[in-house]
Amino acid sequence: MVTLVLTAIAAFTRFYRLGSPTDGGTPIFDEKHYVPQAHQALTNGGLEDNPGYELVVHPPVAKQLIAAGEWIFGYNAVGWRFASAVAGVVLVLLVVRIVRRMTRSTLLGGVAGILLICDGMSFVSSRVGMLDIFLALFVVAALGCLVVDRDQVRARMRTVVEQGRIGDSPWGPRLGVRWWRLGAGVMLGISCGTKWNGAFFIVFYGLLCVGMDVAARRSAGVQRPWVGTLVRDVGPALYALVAIPLLVYLATWWAWFGSETGIDRWVVGQKVGTGGPFGFVPDALRALWYYSGHVLSFHSNLVTPAGSPHPYESKPWTWPMGLRPMLYAYSAGPDVSGCGAASCVSAVMLVGTPALWWLALPVLAWSLWRAVFGRDWRYSVVLVGYGAAFLPWFTNLDRQMYFFYAMAMAPFLVMAVTLVLGDVLGRARAGLERRRTGLLVVCLYVGLVVANFAWLYPILTGVPITESHWQNELWLPSWR
């Protein structure tokens, strides 16, 4: 019931006034790239066609999803934002269920849902026709699959222990087909088909999966848990979390493979030779490799111009606290009405709710402490997801970067904050007074986040406000 109610609230917040604002009826900010490409996919058999600029620099999945909304509602703001809103709602549902499963607490699952609903980053990303909300959805779905897989593996181990077979081999038992891990592989493949950042999650989640398998074998009393994991689990894991994502990723290019006009689709025999050591590779795959090299070159060379950075560029060390938000849309003056004054401001700013994001550093520090010294697997899971979304950006600091790249960090931050609130609340067997005090602190904090979100709401949605109100919304100099 809690999940249904929070999902309904998420749907209301994400869909209410979804079509506003626009840039004179046209897309805002980077919607101007992806919305037309999605429309091209809709009218061109699932494929973007942008030969004039060759600015198709991301895989097709998210743009095809945006195209589905345009097919249903037309080429308008509701149409090109519909899929993002759906993704944002499903993301809330998943976070509620994942936290519920990790903590075995309906209360904490509900808290996580409220916090994500009230996160400005997640909220705005759910209401624009861009790609990052889809990446966040699929990598969180993959994590959810791995959490369920962990529970099933331990249940199978308990069965083996109860049957007295745990000592039959020093490596422990074979665990059979792990369907949820295969599901994680599918989700990771789709995430790579959304943005290439999904590949980092394959690496991080693969290591997480190995760690959880070792822990499961050790807790069951397996004599050699590490060797057992290497022998029994790593091979199937490589299939589920590497081979399956690769195959799914290739499948996401179905429209490009079947196209007669796709960029670089027929490059083999023209710009790429037909022989050589890789002559055995099918032409279609060689063409995709060539095209992907162009895309990689684009991203690698998208560096900050010397002495002329983008006004809203930010580097990853500013993202945990959201110190440099993005201004997606802004209009002001006498032509903007609705605030009760002669001149109004209408703005959409991508900003993480400070009551959440400004606590990131102590929350992450506590999470690391609990993961390492408390051996709390839940914190380890959350840190792996957060790290996969955050740490790889430090490998190329010369590249142009923006705060919206941090969208995939948001659900993991919410999970981490919720786990900390669970520690504040205390265990069910704690004393009554301890639980009451903890519950009061949790309620006060959640209320603070909701109030903070309500205060920011006008600049998250473009609601007309007065100039003085706009200035009051800009809490830090770096927000201006």
The bridge status of strand 344-350 relative to strand 326-333 is antiparallel
pLDDT of residue 261: 81
For the chain, list residues with pLDDT below 50.
none
pLDDT of residue 295: 84
User: What confidence tens digit (pLDDT) does each residue in 311-334 have?
Assistant: 888 999 999 999 999 999 999 988
What sign does the CA torsion over 188, 245, 102, 374 have? negative
pLDDT of residue 134: 98
Q: Is residue 42 part of a domain?
A: no
Q: Is residue 276 part of a domain?
A: yes
Q: Is residue 274 part of a domain?
A: yes
Closest CA to 153 of 168, 167, 173: 173
| Omega of the bond leading into 21 within 30 degrees of 0 (cis) | yes
Three-class secondary structure assignment of the chain: CHHHHHHHHHHHHHHCCCCCCCECCECCCCHHHHHHHHHHHHHCCCCCCCCCCCCCCCCCHHHHHHHHHHHHHCCCHHHHHHHHHHHHHHHHHHHHHHHHHHHCCHHHHHHHHHHHHCCHHHHHHCCCCCCHHHHHHHHHHHHHHHHHHHHHHHHHHHHHHHCCCCCCCCCCCCCCCCHHHHHHHHHHHHHHCCCCCHHHHHHHHHHHHHHHHHHHHHHCCCCCHHHHHHHHHHHHHHHHHHHHHHHHHHHCCHHHHCCCCCCCCCCECCCECCCCCCCCCCHHHHHHHHHHHHHHHHHHCCECCCCCCCCCCCCHHHCCCCCCCEEEEEEEECCCCCCCCCCEEEEEEECCCHHHHCCHHHHHHHHHHHHHCCCCHHHHHHHHHHHHHHHHHHHCCCECCCHHHHHHHHHHHHHHHHHHHHHHHCCCCCCHHHHHHHHHHHHHHHHHHHHHHHHHHHHHHCCCEEHHHHHHHCCCHHHC
Q: Is residue 432 part of a domain?
A: no
Q: Is residue 27 part of a domain?
A: no
Q: Is residue 240 part of a domain?
A: no
Amino acid in position 175: L
pLDDT of residue 54: 53
User: What confidence tens digit (pLDDT) does each residue in 119-149 have?
Assistant: 999 999 999 999 999 999 999 999 999 999 9
Domain that holds residue 281: 264-301
pLDDT of residue 50: 62
Number of domains in the chain: 1
pTM assigned to the model: 0.94
Q: How far apart are CA 451 and CA 118, in angstroms?
A: 9
Q: Is residue 285 part of a domain?
A: yes
Tokens of 372: 């390492």
pLDDT of residue 55: 62
Q: How far apart are CA 257 and CA 45, in angstroms?
A: 11
Q: What distance, in Å, lies between the first and last C-alpha atoms of the chain?
A: 41
Q: Is residue 288 part of a domain?
A: yes
